[in-house]
Structure 1
């Protein structure tokens, strides 16, 4: 993450809003992934006695 920030900073055309939006998207993807994993865990838990 730090290297990406440094690259953007060195680029001078560094757009903070773009970075924030990318972070939000990544967080949303993570949330979806976590929900999916939780669902699978519940299904496994229900199947196994």
Structure 2
């Protein structure tokens, strides 16, 4: 009786819920920020540096 938890492996979602990733800064957003050409040519996203 003292060892009820030994048969169950603990999952992260047993402790807390991990939210789904929300994508920010999409072209359809009203606050959309477009990087200057020199950044986008090199594939750099300055908002996420």
Superposition TM-score tier, normalisation by shorter sequence = under 0.3
TM-score by length of 2: 0.23
Q: Which protein is bigger by CA-based radius of gyration?
A: 2
TM-score by length of 1: 0.23
